[in-house]
Amino acid sequence: MQLNFSSKKKKNILNFVISLVAQLIIISLGIIIPRLVMDNYGSDTNGLVNTVTQVFSYMSLLQAGVFAAAVVELYKPVMENDAEQISKVVSYSKSYYKKIAIIYGLLVIVVSFVLPLIMKTEVDYFTVFTLVFFEGLTGVVSFYFLSSWQIVLRVHGKNYIIDTLNLLQKVMCYVVKIILVYLSVNIAFVQVAYFLASLVIITIYKIYMTKKYSYISYNIKSDYKLVNRNAYFVNELAGTLNNSTDLIVLSIFLSTNLSSVYSVYNMVITYIVTIVTSVYNSTSYILGQDFTENIEKYKRTHDIFTSIFMIFITTLLCVCFLLMIPFVKLYTEGITDANYLNIWYPVLFCSISLINWIANPPREALGVAGYAKQMSIASIITAIINLVISISLVYFLGILGVLIGTIVSAPIRSIYYNYLMEKKLLKRSGLKTIIINGVNILIFIITGLFYFLLPISIDNYWTFILYGILLTIGYFIVILCVNLLVNRDLVFLIKQLLVKVKIKRNSHE
């Protein structure tokens, strides 16, 4: 059976544009919510809300490994238009997700009763219980209905569908949340808005998938099993420990007030990274398809991807490095129940994000190539070191303690992933990747010198936006030029694009 695909070029454009626009809108609305929560409920409640979100990121580990393993195993049947094999993979995933949803639902009930008892917060029991319950209920319906559909769309390069529906859900949710928070409605009931929005999105997904992928059977009975699911589980477990431990450690050992401070900085850095990650995920299916098709073709594609996204992430993190304190100062103006300013937070948050990003391209390559087991070794070592140091230092250094735990452990995973990819998978020296990453890290370090020697003072949002635009343009030009010098494949790509533009323009004249 032949499947009907859109052209790769059209998908790339749609994925890039929609992903970028969606993230910018979501970020704009998402920035409003924490400030309103702090104004109307206080830093304690803001820290509570963010910690609950992190708790459920741990619970979502029930499905860890299935999504990644299914995506990897679907690349080949999708390339070969093998509808039967696609149905087997998706059917197994769907069955597994249904079981997860039931277990997850039971855990939601238990956590809803227990979490209010162990968190150091001044928010009353009923509010915490309701907040936790509806946050969890949203995850239940997501596992049961959405996950297997999103696997199919991801492998077919239709991230623009996922991003569009995610944007719709976020907009509905944020608009209702803003209204309810502004009216000072109990914070627990604000979470209900997100749950109701998820029900609307499920209905839209169902209609779209039935219309576009009617050939997929979700109920094929077979002994099919996903390869390397356990290894992917370990990787995702380690990733969650690295990314979601800090807030929980702060809330349990110290206070949700400190969690609020952490969450404001984390919000800034998360949104910065999310912009690039979303665009990367929207086009990363090309890596999977190229690897399946031809390893030599993949090498060039991989190097180009590495340079392009290092340009974007380095540019945004350098600007973020310089402007994070001015932004937080403006954002928390008038909030007096916690101290939000510390010059070392931008240093650690931005450095951690850059180090973690360096692990992204090799992680994608190794996952597609079936190196999940080897990856899991570095992942779990990184997570253990991070957790031990964070818990050891949190009493003495607070937020700095948990950040030190992350920045000490993060390089282990990034270095090992790159070594594994270059030596074992691509069978080359790795010098090119070292140079690409090295020049971007050097620019980031130089930015750190400017941060301490020439601190930027901003007293209003208009000045902040102007600085942001000018710095982003300046850094982008400099970083692009440096990367063009060290990666000839990137130069070749740009020349190809310019030639195509010229030919197209001449054909219209």
Please give the pLDDT value at position 225. 60
The DSSP secondary-structure symbol of 120 reads -
- Identity of the highest mean pLDDT range in 50-64, 111-125, 405-419: 405-419
Q: Helix axis angle, 431-453 relative to 295-331, nearest 10°? A: 10
Least confident of 221-235, 340-354, 393-407, 466-480: 221-235
pLDDT digits (tens, 9 = 90+) for 301-344: 777 778 888 898 999 999 999 999 999 898 888 877 778 888 89
Is pLDDT larger for residue 15 or for residue 277? Answer: 277
Does 132 score more than 90 pLDDT?
Answer: no
How is the chain split into domains, by residue range? Answer: 1-227, 229-509
Least confident of 46-50, 461-465, 491-495: 491-495
Burial 165-188 (b: 16+ CB within 10 A, else e): bbbebbebbbebbbebbeeeeebb
With a CB cutoff of 8 Å and minimum separation 6, the contacts of 440 are 310, 311, 314, 354, 479, 482, 483
Tell me the CA end-to-end span of the chain in Å, nearest whole number. Answer: 42
**Where does the pLDDT of residue 294 fall: very low under 50, low under 70, confident under 90, or very high at 90 and above?**
low
Rg, Å, the chain Cα set:
23
CA dist 87 and 73 (Å) reads: 12
Q: Quote the tokens at residue 359.
A: 């692990």
**Where does the pLDDT of residue 6 fall: very low under 50, low under 70, confident under 90, or very high at 90 and above?**
very low
CA dist 188 and 206 (Å) reads: 29
pLDDT digits (tens, 9 = 90+) for 55-113: 776 666 555 556 666 776 777 777 777 777 777 777 777 777 777 778 778 888 888 88
Please give the pLDDT value at position 223. 57
**Where does the pLDDT of residue 173 fall: very low under 50, low under 70, confident under 90, or very high at 90 and above?**
confident
- The DSSP annotation for 124-184 comes to -HHHHHHHHHHHHHHHHHIIIIIHHHHHHHHHTT-HHHHHHHHHHHHHHHHHHHHHHHHTT
Please give the pLDDT value at position 471. 94
Question: How large is the average pLDDT for residues 260-267?
Answer: 84
**Residue 152: how many CB atoms within 10 A of its CB?**
22
CA-based nearest residue to 410, from 430, 447, 385, 376: 385
The DSSP secondary-structure symbol of 313 reads H
Question: How large is the average pLDDT for residues 269-282?
Answer: 76
- The sign of the dihedral angle between the CA atoms of 171, 14, 69, 151 is positive
Does 363 score more than 60 pLDDT?
Answer: yes
Residue type, 432: K
**Where does the pLDDT of residue 351 fall: very low under 50, low under 70, confident under 90, or very high at 90 and above?**
very high
Helix and strand counts by DSSP (H, E) for the chain: 19, 0
Please give the pLDDT value at position 508. 53
Residue type, 97: Y
With a CB cutoff of 8 Å and minimum separation 6, the contacts of 26 are 166, 167, 170, 171, 174
CA dist 5 and 3 (Å) reads: 6
Please give the pLDDT value at position 5. 40
